[in-house]
Amino acid sequence: MSTGVMIMTVTLLVLLFLKLPVFVAILGASAVYFVLTPGINPAVFAQQAITGAESVTLLAIPFFVCAGVLMNYTGVTKRIMDFCAVLTGRMYGGLSQVNILLSTLMGGLSGSALADAAMEAKMLVPEMEKKGIGRAFSTVVTAASSMITPLIPPGIGLILYGCIANVSIGKLFVAGFGPGVLLCATMMFMVSRISKKRGYLPLRTEKMHPSMFWKSFRPAVLPLCLPIIIIGGVRLGVFTATEAGSVAIVYAAILGIVYRELGFKEIAQGLKETLQTTSSIMLIVAAASTFSWILTKEMIPQRFTEWMIQMINNKWIFLVAVDIFLIFVGMFVEGNASMIVLVPLFAPAAAAYGIDPIHFAMVFIFANAIGAFTPPMGTLMFVACGVTKCPTRDFIKEAAPFYALLFGCLLILTFVPLFSTGLVNLVY
């Protein structure tokens, strides 16, 4: 490893420790490399940053972000939440169960774990507190359930991973359902057991009548069709995964017109939020593109792969080591940034071990999400606590059983590839 790379790495760690924005830390560290390394045209620095953000595939990010924002302004979230309340009405935990199921169903609409956590913290946590559910527990459920969002299509993490590792985004969309449903089911079961012990009662005691189901299902059926339209369209070749984002925007706009809740004010506000969210993501993408170019030039991915194969001769041990490392990194670094930097390192090593790229992608994304939920710097934890005003100390105390559940689910995904690849093999 050259002196420039070593100093660049130290600079990156120092800037992150100083809590500078992630894109500033990455660009600053990359600039140090270009200054210290002779024989490299400084124009390459700007060229790589611009080129990295110009990928056509990345157009899916602003498209799906915009679709998710418009869905929130057209009453879609409220209609799906009412449907979830009917489905989970007799389960212990009441609105806690609604929270989890809503994250699962809305994952295909919002696409962002942080956006999902912020939205549900505003909408559901105050209502959960009115029902007698503790603020810390409500906040933990909200943050933990939002981890389902990156796995359910069209999660932004799936799009980024596909672009970086050159893996079919359509297949990643299909693969996400297995881990997403696994996490949803296990989390609902655990919340039910905890709620029963604490006396968090169901929303209702009577059985769900067919009329009750259909009354809540009819308003929610059109929004729930969006993931089916996306997966079906991509699989049948009607449109690409990138084009699916524009289809989602049109669909969201049509729903807004049908529900008569989308006016010029909502459109303007939605476009503003889309611009802010997309800009923050693309700045990280542009910065990390330069960083990845440096890694490739120094042949670090190849050397890293050779070193890993020499040190670890078993693919399962390799996967567990990746899990632990990603959780640790996720505690300090924003998920999209760490993905852009680390996927070029780990994906070739996983391929060398003969690990299915779809299986490795699901393990990588989920382990990354767990890190965002984990102290001391987990972004999901801070977003949820920031909205609900819950002390982080109380959050960590309530989150203990959730950490055990998440690690257990991660091990299942790691050692049982069928959860990630089964549906993909069936559909493709």
pLDDT digits (tens, 9 = 90+) for 311-343: 888 889 999 988 988 888 777 666 677 787 788
Matching residue, tokens 């909200």? 142
Q: What is the mean pLDDT of the chain?
A: 81
Q: 335-366 pLDDT, tens per residue?
A: 677 787 788 888 888 888 889 999 999 999 89
Give the pLDDT confidence of 220-251 residue by residue, as tens digits. Answer: 888 778 777 877 787 777 877 777 778 888 88
Of 413, 427, 418, 405, nearest in space to 100 by CA:
405
Taking only the tens place, the pLDDT of each residue in 373-392 is 887 667 778 778 888 888 88
Average pLDDT score over residue span 252-269? 80
Of 208-222, 367-381, 387-401, the range with the highest mean pLDDT is 387-401
Q: Report d(CA 187, CA 420) in Å as an integer.
A: 18
Distance between terminal CA atoms of the chain? Answer: 42
Nearest 10 degrees: Cα torsion 327, 330, 335, 338? -90
pTM of the predicted structure, to 2 decimals: 0.77
pLDDT at 415 over 90: yes
DSSP code for 117: H
Alpha carbons 343 and 364: distance in angstroms, whole number = 8
Rounded to an integer, what distance in angstroms lies between the CA atom of residue 179 and that of residue 171?
14
Contact status, residue 98 vs residue 81, Cβ threshold 8 Å: yes
Q: What is the pLDDT of residues 21-49, one digit of tens each?
A: 777 888 888 888 888 887 777 778 888 77
Q: Which of 33, 20, 26, 61 is nearest to 276 (CA)?
A: 61
CA neighbor of 83 nearest in space, from 71, 101, 66:
101
